[in-house]
């Protein structure tokens, strides 16, 4: 059996996840990282993307948007702006957000507006990708 560690994911509304796990894959600003028990200590920022959690030999996937990750010897803490399980995501709302972001990107935008629209599009597309496994 693989060595395990404690994973806690906190969002403003609640403790999203707090359990013992075997592995975690998460997207940071520097790229995707895989975490196992005994990983070197690290603090990084979380990027928009899926988080994959291996618990009891099975992989779970959720949506994460922004925040920070702290990795210690036998624990990982993530403080995220948003975290959603696939069944919590409103697919119609995500599709509408994708269309709004794409429409906005077709227009002339300031640099800030462009980056905001790109982030909105990335959030919508990631939400939709995470929900595809439900079908």
Is 79 found in the same domain as 51?
A: yes
CA 86 from chain centre, in angstroms, equals 11
Structure confidence by residue, pLDDT tens digits, 49-93:
999 999 999 999 999 998 999 999 899 999 999 999 999 999 999
Is 112 found in the same domain as 79?
A: no
In sequence order, what are the residues at sequence separation of 6 or more whose Cβ sits closer than 8 angstroms to the Cβ of residue 10? 16, 77, 78, 79, 80
Is 94 found in the same domain as 80?
A: no
CA 70 to CA 51: how far, in whole Å? Answer: 15
Mean pLDDT taken over the chain: 93
3-state secondary structure of 132: helix
CA 53 to CA 24: how far, in whole Å? Answer: 5
Is 65 found in the same domain as 43?
A: yes
Is 112 found in the same domain as 68?
A: no
How many structural domains does the chain have? 2
Which domain does 61 fall in, by range? Answer: 5-84
Residue (of 101, 32, 113, 41) closest to 77 by Cα position: 41
Is 77 found in the same domain as 103?
A: no
- Are 74 and 5 within 8 A, CB to CB? yes
Q: Which residue has the tokens 């997207």?
A: 27
Is 54 found in the same domain as 9?
A: yes
Is 124 found in the same domain as 108?
A: yes
Domain boundary among 49, 68, 84: 84
Structure confidence by residue, pLDDT tens digits, 101-122:
999 999 888 999 999 999 999 9
């Amino acid at each position: 059996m693989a060595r395990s560690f404690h994973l806690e994911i906190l969002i403003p509304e609640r403790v999203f996840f707090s359990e013992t796990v075997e592995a975690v894959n998460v997207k940071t600003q520097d790229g995707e990282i895989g975490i196992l028990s005994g990983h070197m200590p690290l603090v990084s920022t979380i990027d928009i993307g899926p988080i994959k959690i291996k618990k009891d030999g099975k992989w779970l996937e959720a949506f994460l948007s922004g925040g920070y990750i702290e990795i210690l010897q036998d624990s990982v803490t993530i403080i995220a702006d948003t975290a959603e399980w696939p069944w919590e995501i409103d697919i119609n709302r995500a599709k509408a957000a994708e269309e709004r972001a794409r429409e906005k990107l077709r227009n002339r935008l300031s640099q800030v507006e462009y980056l905001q629209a790109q982030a909105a599009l990335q959030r919508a597309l990631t939400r939709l990708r995470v929900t595809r496994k439900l079908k």
